Amino acid sequence: MESEIKKSLPVNHKLILDNRKALSLTGITKMDSINETHCECSIGSQFLSVTGSGIHIVKLDVEQGVLELEGSIDGVRYSGERKSVLKRLFK
């Protein structure tokens, strides 16, 4: 129950995008997925999606909440809380 409360609380974070070649992010709570064209991470109950090409991790420390990426970054998108497929089916 306590972990559910923590996930729903807003998390302060900072995003720095440098010339669309490097991205620094603080406040991450979970790294969801990454490949050369797409990266997804959680910031509390919110999700951040980064798109581009040649994306790779320079630094990742989930305990400290730090993520640094490099590559050609084309887009950054925030989205709300996602529900699992099962939760959506049995609504």
Domain CATH number, residue 55? 2.60.40.2000
Q: How much of the chain, in percent, has pLDDT values that exceed 90?
A: 69
Boundaries of domain holding 85 = 2-89
**Residue 11: per-residue pLDDT:** 75
Greater pLDDT, 51 or 8: 51
Q: How many domains does the chain have?
A: 1
Task: Kindly state the tokens that stand for 32.
Answer: 């969801």
> Which residue, among 15, 11, 16, has the nearest Cα to 30 in the 3D structure?
11
Whether the Cβ atoms of residue 32 and residue 77 lie closer than 8 Å to each other: no
Task: Kindly state the tokens that stand for 87.
Answer: 């939760």
Model confidence pLDDT, tens digit, residues 40-83: 999 988 999 999 999 999 999 999 999 999 999 999 999 986 55
Full-model pTM: 0.77
The angle subtended at Cα 8 by Cα 83 and Cα 76, nearest 5°, is: 70
pLDDT band at 31 (very low <50, low <70, confident <90, very high): very high
